[in-house]
Amino acid sequence: MPVAIITGASKGLGRALGAALAERGWDLVLDARTGEVLEETAAALSAYGTRVRALPGDVTDAGHRAGLVTAARELGGLDLLVNNASALGAEPLVRLEALTLEGLRHALEVNVVAALGLIQEALPLLRASRAGTVIDISSDAAAEAYETWGGYGASKAALDHLSAVLGEEEPGLRVWAVDPGDMGTDLYTAAVPDDDDPRPAPASVVPAFIGLLDERPASGRYGASALSALPAGR
């Protein structure tokens, strides 16, 4: 069975993507900081009959990242790494004049440094896979200038560039930076708690991710409009 590591997998997009992969027979290694919620998610996804390993921890911890890759190796290898764990840098978001440098450092540490660290740890297994793939979850804030989204957007822009370079350096892999569009997630609520406008559920974008895995287009950045042009996964 193919094996995936998904960070930030206890809720939102990470959990929804994990459920879709488990339904298709993927074995999973799941990460999140909150152990109790992660264990509940792992139990729910195990109901699909696949092997699920839940490792609570912080992706900024090198030892935790190594543990995630070790768990994948024990399941037989690694075919897909999804860097979904993210940090805002300030909750709620603030204008740049009020963004603490420590907050910006934290966003960069989680969204860029930890993502690269996990990629580096996972590369030998991904290269050994017949369809090694990295998905880095990006944001429209990486490409557009929205008031108060400067720190988070800068970190996601850095992740986009890192993904693009990795795609050039690793032609045997697929490396996609994916902007899934607006979603109703805990992250968005923490970013803009006063915004009561309804947003799509994370599960609504999962068929597009499965479509990416099915179609395997060239490495690159895929925004919401490009995702919608792909055939939805079954």
Whole-angstrom distance, CA of residue 166 vs CA of residue 170: 6
Cβ-based burial of 97 (10 A; exposed 0-12, middle 13-18, buried ≥19): exposed
Q: Which two tokens stand for residue 189?
A: 């609520």
Indicate if the alpha-carbon torsion angle 121, 16, 153, 96 is positive or negative: negative
152 carries an active-site annotation: yes
How big is the chain by its Cα radius of gyration, in Å?
Answer: 17
Q: Are residues 222 and 51 in contact, defined by beta-carbon separation less than 8 angstroms?
A: no
Distance from the Cα of residue 144 to its chain's centroid: 20
Residue of 146, 152, 188, 222 marked catalytic: 152
**Residue listed under structure tokens 């986009």:** 160
Which residues are tagged catalytic? Answer: 152
